[in-house]
């Protein structure tokens, strides 16, 4: 699931907690990120686990967290789902080996996010 955000907020985020709460209407959407799961942070607060595109040196290993149900920074208001269609072809045809995917798994390992989450 993807969503729209205000990029200024992300430029100031250094990790270690939540993106601060803000009303959805207070910001213009300029940036997109991918919601990859949900989990619990400190004190059992339910959060969306969202991956930014700026690499692992940004935020919490490239991720940030927003409290579920608060629509902070439009995380729920401007959420978009992607529907993947299944095609009946062999794996070799669907996923040819290239330099980009040779022998590597692109599946997210939730343990590296340092919290209990579900992807």
CATH of domain 2-118: 2.40.50.170
Q: For residue 68, with 0-12 CB atoms within 10 Å meaning exposed, 13-18 middle and 19 or more buried, which class applies? A: middle
Q: Is the pLDDT of residue 37 over 80?
A: yes
User: Among positive and negative, which fits the CA dihedral 112, 114, 116, 119?
Assistant: negative
Supply the pTM of this predicted model: 0.59
Region 41-60: mean pLDDT is 84
When pLDDT is averaged across residues 30-41 and rounded to a whole number, the result is 81
Could you tell me the pLDDT band of residue 89, with boundaries at 50, 70 and 90? low
Q: What are the residue boundaries of the structural domains of the chain, listed by start?
A: 2-118
């Amino acid at each position: 699931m993807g969503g729209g955000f205000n990029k200024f907020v992300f430029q100031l985020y250094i990790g270690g907690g939540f993106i601060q709460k803000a009303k959805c209407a207070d910001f213009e959407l300029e940036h997109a990120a991918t919601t990859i799961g949900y989990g619990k942070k400190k004190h059992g607060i339910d959060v969306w686990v969202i991956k930014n595109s700026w690499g692992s040196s940004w935020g919490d290993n490239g991720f940030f967290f927003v409290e579920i149900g608060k629509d902070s920074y439009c995380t729920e208001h401007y959420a978009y789902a992607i529907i993947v269609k299944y095609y009946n072809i062999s794996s070799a045809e669907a996923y040819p080996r290239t330099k980009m995917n040779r022998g590597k798994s692109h599946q997210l390992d939730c343990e590296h996010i340092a919290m209990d989450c579900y992807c």
